[in-house]
Structure 1
């Protein structure tokens, strides 16, 4: 897999030659340009990833350049479906987890939670760069170059989806099934409020803080209907976390300094651990 916008990596960007036609040349050129824009506005990669347990899962990574978002999705071996959406414009990351229920313990078929955090620029390549990635060998089983370890998040509030537009307009659609289980941190609300066009009042109006009472961890609570603090961990086994640059050859002219060009990507693995309030331990049976 490689990445380039300089023409150095021909497997990524084969140049389309447009024959010059006296009649309708301008129309043909515009038509091809529009088709290329349409194809490049949204692209998808399917990546075979080996997790730390040696099992292979398939990740789907979709880039939407016009919306400036990237969506990464995969299903864990226990059936849990993880969806991560990065909204670059608003510096928002959404992690959605669909967890299958345990019917023998009185749970419904599944439950959905969303965790909304501030996205740090540089943690993932841009949607534009992502859209230009191509695979030479799609069946290859990939492992990341760098393990970023685990980052912990202690959520402090619920998000009201019908008032979530000040955070990101994508929340209502991505987290529609998690209307009562979408969570955010106060520290991230403050960080977003410092972005141009944002305000802490509009952000806080979209949220409701957890009860002030100190609660025990769910794995320390015996009653299924007692409130507690739940923990859920998700790990993204492979993702493009940065670009690689190669030095351009000077063609024998040592005095001619050539700019470096993009020639590949750096890949990473990272886990996120979310701690949040649940009204009943029944909503957190995996944390035992």
Structure 2
């Protein structure tokens, strides 16, 4: 896995193609003989008819160049704003799963998604602007126990910058061998989160605008912690009152784990654990070819470092949260 700049040849070719197309249009509309039916308007000699359009030489000169540059810039932006990697990852059980990692520079967002061997679909979204991490779990129902559909849960937590490489760095990642089975360099163990409140999705904008769309199927199963609300409140433009208004606290009296409850319809505390088997958790830096020393003028030369790769990690997360019925937590037994 390497970091490399975007290839300028692709943009140059797109520019040349678009420019040639505009030149052909201009020659057809302004330089062709009368048998192409180019007629002056009779009012302003600089205006001519091209097909069904009346165009001005001055208008064409100004606006076609603007359009051309807009086209080229859009192609450059679209090539750099979004990028996707498909990574083959070997989990601790020796099974290989495929992760999809998408970077969106414009939104400053990274999305990581994969399907576990039991069918559970995991989606991790990192919103760097708001320092929010969303983990969405879609768990298939157990038909033999009366669950014919799937469940969706979302967990919004405070994201610490530096735990994942930036969206801009992620967009520059390229694979030399896409079919290689990857294993992480470092295991960061397991982190435990005890959730304290539900999120009201229709009021979740103060947390992040991405929460409502991503977790629309988890209307009553999106969770947050009080400690994270307080951390977000310290960010510029945020307030604890608007954040708390987007949440509803769990009942205070409940402390029984679901694996200790016999009735399927009784409320309890559920535990869900998931592991991200491979993700870019940091950048690697290499030293420049030159060495530190003194140049011919006597000035001290400094050795330069440049980004040349990534550090990869594995991390598990365990969430504990309130469910109104044990039926919503059959795996925790």
Name the TM-score, length of structure 2 as normaliser: 0.80
Q: Residues of 2 paired with 1:44 and 1:195: CA distance?
A: 30
> Is 1:46 aligned to residue 79 of structure 2?
no
Partner of 2:318: 273
Partner of 2:76: 36
The structure whose Rg is larger is: 2
Contact 1:18 1:29 in 2 (8 A): no
Partner of 2:99: 59
Query: Per-residue displacement from partner, 1:86-130 (whole Å, max 9, x unpaired)?
Result: 000000000000000011211131000000000000000001110
Q: Residues of 2 paired with 1:254 and 1:134: CA distance?
A: 36
1:176 counterpart SS class: coil
CA RMSD of aligned residues (A): 2.2
2:260 to 211, 220, 224: 220
1:1-288, aligned counterparts within 5 Å?
A: 1-5=1-5, 13-16=6-9, 18=12, 31-250=71-290, 255=295, 256-288=301-333
Distance 1:251 1:15, change over 3 A: farther
Partner of 2:61: none
Q: Residues of 1 paired with 2:155 and 2:293: CA distance?
A: 54
2:220 counterpart SS class: coil
Partner of 1:10: none
Shift in Å, 1:254? 5.3
Runs of at least 5 residues in structure 2 that lack an aligned partner in the other structure = 24-64, 296-300
Shift in Å, 1:34? 2.7
Query: Per-residue displacement from partner, 1:68-100 (whole Å, max 9, x unpaired)?
Result: 100000000000000000000000000000000
Contact 1:4 1:262 in 2 (8 A): no
Runs of at least 5 residues in structure 1 that lack an aligned partner in the other structure = 6-12
Distance 1:154 1:248, change over 3 A: same
Number of equivalent positions? 281
Query: Per-residue displacement from partner, 1:138-157 (whole Å, max 9, x unpaired)?
Result: 10000000000000000000
1:287 counterpart SS class: coil
Structure ranking higher in helix proportion:
2
1:197 counterpart SS class: coil
Shift in Å, 1:251? 7.3
2:165 counterpart SS class: coil
